[in-house]
Structure 1
Amino acid sequence: MTSVVEARQRSSAGASTRAGDDSPLPSAHSLAPAKAAKWERILYRRQPYPDNHTDDSFLERLVLNGRITPRRLSRVILDATTVSQQLAVVALKAAAVAHLLDDGSGAGCSRPHSLMLLDGVLLLCGVIANVVLHGPAHAARQSARVGPALLLGLFALTPLFHTMTAAISDDTAVATATCSLLLHLLTHDYALLDSYTARLGGSASLGAAMFAAALLASRLPTTSAVFADMLLALVLFVLFPFLRRDVRRASTAAHLALTAAVHAATLAAVLALPGSGRLIAAGYVAAVAGIVLACPVWLIRMMAFKEQINGPWDEAKPDLSLLKGGRAREARVDREGGQGVGF
């Protein structure tokens, strides 16, 4: 009995001892150093902070719309004329095919010759513009290098174009050509005006345009019509973009005059179509007005709602001028406050 009482006394004494020693667990603040080191924006030194630490000065370097270039309505309209020119080119090519296919009148046999005459006038105008912009020597070299190969190659391939897709039904050919021309407009290299290359960048666009031209050429009745139509396609889709680029660089007024001339020629060709020519012309005018006027105004209005934030969280962009050394690097370091480029 005595042993049982002693065991109970020892148990209660142990419990009271454990209760007296009970204390809260140490917090994170108690384990931290008395005075934490100041956080620095560097990577080459270990700091007592987690990798995703954000200090109070994180948002001090936030910039709102710092990299947005303000746009002027006149400049946007001028750039939109390039898109309208390409739309005019596609509409002019489609109108030419429609005129060649329309044999209801007695003028059907003379239309291929009229189109060949138009092709010759366009080529002559291109040569004259090349002489004015680049000089006679450059124009002579370009004409001698491109002209004979273009005409001879097209003349040799005309019978092939005439029969290559003749087995395809007319409805399928027209639908496929329409889709190809739309693809051409969507993928055209509109940045060619700002480049110095001697080749068209939009290979898919050029391929789609020539594919549509080949499909429509097989619908034409004679080989002379096929030759005239394919020559017009080469002039409009291959040669004309370079002329537009040179004219745009030479003079803004000349660029606007060329744009007006192209639209006038296209509108005249569309209005001359029998049947629904006026309706198609009205749709064409509405499309051009939407591209040149409505879309630029809409873009300028939308720019007022654009918000772009930049700050320390942006990805670092390499500055290739630092690899050259010398004054470029020194100037860059000075602009960065003597710390160079980094975090």
Structure 2
Amino acid sequence: MPSTSSGLITAHSSASSPAPNPDRLAPDDAYYETTPRRAREQSLLGLGADGVGLSARKRKEKDRTRSASRRRKGHYKKLLWFKQPFPDNYTDEETFLDHMKRNPRLQPYEFWSLMADATVIVQHIASVAIFCCCFVDIAQARVSPVSVVSWASLCTVLGWVLWDYWMAQEEADIVSAATKADEDTASRSSDSSQRLATAKSALLIYAALLGLSPILKSLTKSTTSDSIWAISTWLLCMNVAFFDYGGGTGSHLPASISTNSALMASTVLASRLPSTTHVFSLTLFSIEVFGLFPIFRRHLRSMSWVGHMTLTIALIISACGGVSVTLTGGGRGAWVGGVVLGGCVTFLAMGICSWWLIGLQKYKNEIHGPWDPARPIIRRRWD
């Protein structure tokens, strides 16, 4: 009879107590792994050695474990700024590799787009070749230095006029806040001031070169010619290597290292010419080729693709023909042969390099995982 009453009391107390919530942890859930399983389960249930209610507790434990594992897989987020029931170094092994990405920002190259981009490199190398040919012909008295710098100055003035027209169009498109009359007045005043500043700069450069020509002529008198050829070769190679081939229309000047190395090369080469007129002509020609011409090429490429390709073809013809005539000392036949041979070699080199870059893309292996640092998006213009 006492056992029956104790059993009734136990059943009544278990029925009156609320059912445990499987989503919450109780203080009794903390136990040592070394505790025997039967004794641990009995202590959690508050039962004696007879094991009454053990099967029900087992079912609840299984349900809670199953729901916890389900909750762990479904609600885990790779964020550290809010509290989660997981340690900071937790890794979901079943879904971690699913977020791995290989080359997510890969843009496959296209052959003709690479060929079009290679024209920028061809233009600059052709410009360097034309400068070298002009120096050799001036040093060997084949052409007059005044004629070289005169034609170059004429082309520079025409290019500046075209560039000024482009700048006026861009300013007219940007200015829109004032009335039409105010816009026209402001545009005319800004254009006139810019033209005046350009004219002042040109006169200053012209006068400075006239004054420095005698000094530049005797600058490297104590240096042997072999050293001059080696120094100028390395400086021109630096100009080609460090030139900003990807600069947009916003770049007002080419890379400083490239421009400075080219001007230094022209200075040491001009010191080997016979007169101050030769020195002045070659130095001014180098400023026009390496300082002003790259700016015009950038704007021409952004404004007119047909004009860009036409300029590229003209530079290839001039450079290939000039190199052939300079090396062989021939006339029209050497010019034509150099243009044909040089044009074929240039086109093949552009095609081979483009295919080579396309083939190298298969070796690109950039893996981005879920814990990689975020890349900030920088806004170029604020609205």
Q: Report the TM-score range of the alignment, normalised by the length of the smaller protein.
A: 0.7 to 0.9
Kindly tell me: are residues 57 and 290 of structure 1, through their superposed partners in 2, closer, same or farther at Cα, counting changes over 3 Å?
A: same
Residue 284 (structure 2) pairs with residue 231 (structure 1): yes
Other-structure match for 1:212: 265
Q: TM-score, normalised by structure 2?
A: 0.66
Contact 1:247–1:255, Cα closer than 8 Å, also in 2: yes
Other-structure match for 2:24: none
User: Percent of counterpart pairs with the same letter?
Assistant: 23
Other-structure match for 2:210: 155
- Greater Cα offset, 130-139 or 225-234: 130-139
Structure with larger RCO (C-alpha < 8 A, sep 6+)? 1
Contact 1:88–1:263, Cα closer than 8 Å, also in 2: yes
Where 1:246 maps in the other structure, the secondary structure is helix
Other-structure match for 2:236: 181
2:208 corresponds to which letter in structure 1? G
Kindly tell me: are residues 268 and 284 of structure 1, through their superposed partners in 2, closer, same or farther at Cα, counting changes over 3 Å?
A: closer
Where 1:191 maps in the other structure, the secondary structure is coil
Deviations 1:29-86 (A, max 9, x none): x99x965672442213264446263431112222333211233222211111001111
What is the distance in 1 between the residues matched to 2:345 and 2:240? 13
Contact 1:84–1:291, Cα closer than 8 Å, also in 2: no
The answer for unaligned runs of 5 or more in structure 2 is: 1-31, 41-63, 169-187
Other-structure match for 1:76: 114
Deviations 1:243-270 (A, max 9, x none): 0011011111110011111222222322
Contact 1:206–1:237, Cα closer than 8 Å, also in 2: yes
Correspondence for 1:126 among 159, 170, 181: 159
Contact 1:83–1:291, Cα closer than 8 Å, also in 2: no
Contact 1:127–1:143, Cα closer than 8 Å, also in 2: no
Contact 2:317–2:343, Cα closer than 8 Å, also in 1: no
Residue 346 (structure 2) pairs with residue 288 (structure 1): yes
Where 1:316 maps in the other structure, the secondary structure is coil
Contact 2:317–2:339, Cα closer than 8 Å, also in 1: no
1:92 corresponds to which letter in structure 2? I
Kindly tell me: are residues 70 and 90 of structure 1, through their superposed partners in 2, closer, same or farther at Cα, counting changes over 3 Å?
A: same
What is the distance in 1 between the residues matched to 2:318 and 2:294? 17
- Greater Cα offset, 144-153 or 279-288: 279-288
Query: What is the correspondence of 1:132-281 to structure 2 with a 5 Å cutoff?
Result: 132-135=165-168, 137=191, 140-141=195-196, 143-192=198-247, 194-200=248-254, 202-275=255-328
Other-structure match for 1:312: 370
Kindly tell me: are residues 174 and 224 of structure 1, through their superposed partners in 2, closer, same or farther at Cα, counting changes over 3 Å?
A: same
What is the distance in 2 between the residues matched to 1:286 and 1:181? 24
2:233 corresponds to which letter in structure 1? T
Where 2:132 maps in the other structure, the secondary structure is helix
* Aligned length, in residue pairs: 289
1:174 corresponds to which letter in structure 2? W
Where 1:303 maps in the other structure, the secondary structure is helix
Where 1:273 maps in the other structure, the secondary structure is helix
Contact 2:259–2:290, Cα closer than 8 Å, also in 1: yes
Residue 355 (structure 2) pairs with residue 301 (structure 1): no
Question: How far apart are residue 140 of structure 1 and its match?
Answer: 3.6
Residue 149 (structure 2) pairs with residue 116 (structure 1): yes
Contact 1:270–1:281, Cα closer than 8 Å, also in 2: no
What is the distance in 2 between the residues matched to 1:210 and 1:170? 18
Kindly tell me: are residues 227 and 316 of structure 1, through their superposed partners in 2, closer, same or farther at Cα, counting changes over 3 Å?
A: same
Contact 1:158–1:226, Cα closer than 8 Å, also in 2: yes
Question: How far apart are residue 231 of structure 1 and its match?
Answer: 0.9
Other-structure match for 1:41: 78
What is the distance in 2 between the residues matched to 1:150 and 1:284? 35
Kindly tell me: are residues 129 and 172 of structure 1, through their superposed partners in 2, closer, same or farther at Cα, counting changes over 3 Å?
A: same
2:215 corresponds to which letter in structure 1? L
Residue 98 (structure 2) pairs with residue 60 (structure 1): yes
What is the distance in 2 between the residues matched to 1:73 and 1:241? 25
Where 1:199 maps in the other structure, the secondary structure is coil
Contact 1:119–1:231, Cα closer than 8 Å, also in 2: no
